[in-house]
Structure 1
């Protein structure tokens, strides 16, 4: 419940309005009336729900196809990069399977009531409409967050292992107890295994980094869009705080 309240833009925006009303009821009520007026105006400016429903889910489907095309582009050695084929195939299959799961999840949400519910929120104010839109956007882009988390974790493990092996092949080893780097003498077999693992990971790193960069760019793009909508959702509270000072 705590995680939900922290991530939900709608809950945060509602809490901000309630805090503002407690501090200065009349001024905050005037802002809320203005917010509702703008929300109704925006609602009247939008096309009917059927057109919005078709346009909205068409955009979602296009985004899914775009993401699938990005994975196809990566598997075809983009920009002349010679990626490791087994790792590339494994990662692309993993991502495509999650895209399939996400498409199944989206089909569950493909109901006209979702769009009607979002449009109905405009009667509670433009900020409420923006907040609910942001929450829906977060749900629909959850897979991007997951992909970025997977790629980040894999890149971190690969890089930290490379750093440890690089020190090992040079006769260095990190001592966690004394928090220092000590010299270590390896046998020829240990030296061979360490060098082999270092070489293998070094050649696998470019493939992993390509996935990391692609999904990090997608995540940043999603966060930029989400941040813009969040600004609109928090506008009434920001206006109240700017005029009368912080409400909490």
Structure 2
């Protein structure tokens, strides 16, 4: 007989037949109060026919069986195993209640997204098995593996099905899902149709390289909400019917589902407070916004253009080119100011509409709308930046070509390289004239480009802050964070072995020396998706990268929204919690 047995803590104080599994290790699931071993095996066979247990049988290593008879001694409060030749050493584990959704897990891999892990490919894994240079580890038969943990997680269900074949692992709050399941069944088809319609609208091409969802933040956020609605109507029947998955799969999907619900509820709650502030103070906010738009986006820009045209700080720019830039951009700013004067009387109504949008759709929707409003209000700055950047970039390319000319080289378009070349005297003379023109005009082009590029840089940083806030609202793991404080067993971070201390009036055998506990989940896992999205935003809006793009004359644009979009958690158990 085995010298080590995995024993459940909290068994009733009575004698009876113990049942469980012999592989991969001896694991006791519970105790049966039966007259004979045959009657105990019969009761166990009836329990194995139950649908709830039949779905878990393969993951637990097969059908359980009667392991022997144990006697409970009331005098010394211990179990003795009459049918075993030697008294085993017990390692204790916990059997969790059916409605608790607690489970054992070796590590946090069940909560880590497989798409976020850059692991080896399948072909590499097959080649790795044939690597004879690495020492092979011996295969240990009686080891604590995933099958054993599945036996721990299912032992309470097996005990419940012995007395009630309809027992299931279902949380108490799941009654809410029963009440709304009929409603979601009726809304399933309309929500799927609406989701496809919103997705089609978001994917309407506006330019050859972008869609409507890429250009409009509010369209992208509406598409996210539509996919979340589709996720809800698809997930509720699985959670209601308990599915054909084990406790780990069900618990993770349950946590994902309610984590998404909590995020949306908090989004709507904060949005209602912010919306009431906008609607109650729309007139005052409209006055402040109008003053800011006139001052910082028109008057200050015109003042700076006139200042640059008057040789500031002794910087002698090309007079004709500087006047051309200054007069053209000043006229464009005044034209834009005329458009603002037409729209300004309606700014209070726009803010009031944003307040209603925040009250109904949540804070994330109004943030997306504000981002679109900022993009529209700064469209004239973007047009000036695009025009000056185009000329600046063209002059840099021309300077590079002239540099190759003076070195006696030219760029080979067919072979994509720089080759040596002999130029005629006329070509060298023409290149010298062009270089002289470029040298005298470049400082003026650079100054006006740097001015509008700086404004564009500041606008992008403002949009980056709103993108960061939007990611915080959409992906903050509030439900998972609450579980890590309230019930850490719901999101386990691995198992540990703790030494038990003998206690008086305990049902534990004196042979038990270790107990298997769960570790607390690390906070880095709870915020894994949020950290990943923050990293994407930080890489795109890195000031050093943006500064380098400014120097090279490359186009500065906001981050593509498909790179940070994450509407719903993956329905697979390997999706992240947040």
TM-score, length of structure 2 as denominator length: 0.40
Give distance in 2, aligned partners of 1:184 and 1:150: 35
Per-residue CA deviation, residues 203-236 of structure 1 (Å, 9 max, x unaligned), is 1111101111111111110011111122223333
Give the aligned partner of residue 454 of structure 2.
217
Give the aligned partner of residue 238 of structure 1.
475
Q: Is residue 69 from structure 1 mapped to residue 303 from structure 2 by the alignment?
A: yes
3-state SS, counterpart of residue 468 of structure 2:
helix
2:358–2:365: 8 Å Cα contact kept in structure 1? yes
Give the aligned partner of residue 290 of structure 2.
57
3-state SS, counterpart of residue 181 of structure 1:
strand
TM-score, length of structure 1 as denominator length: 0.88
Give distance in 2, aligned partners of 1:5 and 1:226: 16
3-state SS, counterpart of residue 419 of structure 2:
strand
2:277–2:355: 8 Å Cα contact kept in structure 1? no
3-state SS, counterpart of residue 133 of structure 1:
helix
Give distance in 1, aligned partners of 2:261 and 2:423: 74
Residues 29, 109 of structure 1: alpha-carbon distance in 2 compared, 3 angstrom cutoff: farther
Matches within 5 A, 1:1-248: 1-2=204-205, 3-21=211-229, 22=231, 25-46=257-278, 48-63=281-296, 64-110=298-344, 111=346, 112-123=348-359, 124-178=361-415, 179-187=417-425, 189-239=426-476, 247=568
Shift of 1:240: 5.3
Residues 177, 30 of structure 1: alpha-carbon distance in 2 compared, 3 angstrom cutoff: closer
1:127–1:235: 8 Å Cα contact kept in structure 2? no
Shift of 1:156: 1.2
Per-residue CA deviation, residues 107-158 of structure 1 (Å, 9 max, x unaligned), is 4432132222112112021222211111101110112222221111101111
Please state which structure has a larger fraction of its residues in helix: 1
* Structure 1 vs Structure 2 CA RMSD: 2.4
2:275–2:357: 8 Å Cα contact kept in structure 1? no
Give distance in 2, aligned partners of 1:20 and 1:158: 48
Shift of 1:172: 3.0
- Higher alpha-carbon Rg: 2
Give distance in 1, aligned partners of 2:341 and 2:472: 33
Give distance in 2, aligned partners of 1:65 and 1:48: 26
Shift of 1:9: 1.5
Farther-moved stretch of structure 1 (58-67 vs 227-236): 227-236
3-state SS, counterpart of residue 476 of structure 2:
helix
3-state SS, counterpart of residue 180 of structure 1:
strand
Give distance in 2, aligned partners of 1:177 and 1:6: 35
How many residues align? The count is: 247
Please state which structure has a larger fraction of its residues in strand: 2
Per-residue CA deviation, residues 76-129 of structure 1 (Å, 9 max, x unaligned), is 222321111111111112212221332233344321322221121120212222
Unaligned runs of 5+ in 2: 1-203, 206-210, 233-255, 479-525, 530-565, 571-578
3-state SS, counterpart of residue 355 of structure 2:
helix
Give distance in 2, aligned partners of 1:214 and 1:173: 33
Give distance in 2, aligned partners of 1:185 and 1:31: 67
1:173–1:184: 8 Å Cα contact kept in structure 2? no
Q: Tell me which of the two structures has the higher relative contact order, counting C-alpha pairs closer than 8 angstroms and 6 or more residues apart.
A: 1
Unaligned runs of 5+ in 1: none
2:477–2:527: 8 Å Cα contact kept in structure 1? yes
Residues 243, 192 of structure 1: alpha-carbon distance in 2 compared, 3 angstrom cutoff: closer
Per-residue CA deviation, residues 158-181 of structure 1 (Å, 9 max, x unaligned), is 121122123324433333234332
Residues 45, 113 of structure 1: alpha-carbon distance in 2 compared, 3 angstrom cutoff: closer
2:263–2:475: 8 Å Cα contact kept in structure 1? no
Residues 240, 6 of structure 1: alpha-carbon distance in 2 compared, 3 angstrom cutoff: farther
Residues 39, 195 of structure 1: alpha-carbon distance in 2 compared, 3 angstrom cutoff: same
2:263–2:473: 8 Å Cα contact kept in structure 1? yes
3-state SS, counterpart of residue 76 of structure 1:
coil
Farther-moved stretch of structure 1 (105-114 vs 117-126): 105-114
Give distance in 2, aligned partners of 1:33 and 1:68: 45
